[in-house]
Chains A and B, each alone.
Chain A
Amino acid sequence: MSAAVEPADMAMAKYSERHRRQRTRNIALLAVLLGLVALFYVMSIVRMGGG
C-alpha cells in the first residue's frame, strides 16, 4: 500500500540501505566461514603434530 504512494527517491534510498545492509551481512558471513576454515586447519595440524 505505502510503497505505491511513496516518492521515487525515498524508495531508492530504502533500496540502497537494504543493499548496503545485505552486503555487510554477506561480508560478515564470509569472514566467519573463512575463520572456521582457518580454525579447523590449525586445530588439525596441532592435534596431529602433538599426538
Chain B
Amino acid sequence: MSDGPAELTAAASAADGPPIGDFVALLKPRVMSLVVFSALIGLILAPGTPHPVLAAIAILCIALGAGAAGALNMWWERDRDARMARTRDRPLPAGRMDPGAALGFGVLLAVGSASVMALAVNWTAAALLALTIAHYVFVYTIWLKPRTPHSVVIGGAAGALPPMIGWAAATGEIGLGAVALFALIFVWTPPHSWALALLKCDDYRRAGIPALPVAAGPDATGRQILFYSALMVPVSFGPCLAGIAGPVYMAAAAVMGTWFLVLAWRLRRTDGTAAARRLFGFSLLYLFVLFAVLLVERLAAGAA
C-alpha cells in the first residue's frame, strides 16, 4: 500500500518516456540562444555573403550542436545536479527521464549536427563544431570541472568558439577577425563565471565542485577577476586591429571596458555579494553591447 498517487504518477512517467518539454530543457535553450547570437556575429562579420539558406542551415547546426553539448553535460552531471537547488529540477535529477535516453539524444544531435554542417556548409565549420562539442563535454565537463577551479579558463574556449564556427561557415577558413572574437569571449569568460560562482558559492560547495570561491576563497577570486578583467580590456580592441570594427566600436570598448574594471575593482575591495551581482549583470551587458555595436557598424557600412 506504499504506492500513493505521486509514486504512481512517477512510475507511469518513467515507463511512458518523458514529455517533449524535457527534451527541450536538455538542450539548455538559454545557453543556446547566446551561442546562436555569437555565431551570427561571426557569420555576418566575415567577408563575403554566404547563400542565405546555407547560412540558416549553419546556424541551425550550431544551435543543435550547442544543445547536444548541453544534453551530454546534463547526462554526465546528473548526480551533482541533484545536490544543487538551481539544478535539482532538471529532467534527469528529478527522475522524469531515463539517463540512457538523454545520452542517446545528445550523441545523436552531436553527430547529426556536425554531419549536416559538413554536407551542407563546409568541413572547416563542421570540424570546429565537433571540436567545440568535444571540448565542452570531454575537456571541460568530464576532465577539468571536477578537478580544478581554473576549469572555466580552459573550458571557456568552448563558449568562445561559436563566432569562429560562424566565420568558418561563411568563408571556409579561420580569419584574423574570427581569432579576435574568440580571444574576446575567451578572456571575458573567467570574470563572468567567477562573479556567478561568488553568488552560487554554497551550491557549488554542497555539490563538491571546486569553483574558485570554494577552493581559494572570495579574496583570491576577487584578485583573479581583476586580473582577467585587466587582460580583457586590451584584448577587446582586437577586432579593430583585425579590421572588423570601426571608431564606434573602439569608443564602446573603451567606455564599457573602463566600467567593467571599476566594477571588478569594487568587487576586489568589498567582499559582499552585491558587488558580485553587479559585475555578473554588467558582464552580460558588456558582451551584448560590444557585439551589437560590431553588428550595427557592419550593417551601416554595408548600407552606405
Contact = CB atoms under 8 A, between A and B. Distances in A.
Chains A and B bind each other: yes
Interface of A: 1-2, 5-6, 10, 14, 17-18, 21-22, 24-25, 28, 39, 42-43, 46-47, 50
Interface stretch (B16-24, B67-75, B238-246): B16-24
A39 B8 contact: no
Contacts of A42: 53
* Nearest 9 Cβ contacts at the A-B interface: A2-B3, A43-B120, A18-B16, A46-B53, A21-B16, A28-B20, A14-B12, A46-B51, A50-B51
Majority secondary structure of chain B interface residues (helix, strand, loop or mixed): helix
A51 to B, nearest CB: 11
Given A24-B20, A28-B20, A43 B12 contact: no
Chain B interface size band reads 10 to 19
A6 B116 CA distance: 49
30 contacts: A2-B8, A10-B8, A14-B8, A14-B12, A17-B12, A17-B16, A18-B12, A18-B15, A18-B16, A21-B16, A21-B17, A21-B19, A22-B17, A24-B19, A24-B20, A25-B17, A28-B20, A39-B60, A39-B116, A42-B53, A43-B54, A43-B57, A43-B116, A43-B120, A46-B51, A46-B53, A46-B54, A46-B120, A47-B120, A50-B51
Contacts of A1: 3
B12 A25 contact: no
Contacts of B51: 46, 50
Contacts of A43: 53-54, 57, 116, 119-120
Interface in B1-60: 1, 3, 8, 12, 15-17, 19-20, 51, 53-54, 57, 60
B57 A39 contact: yes
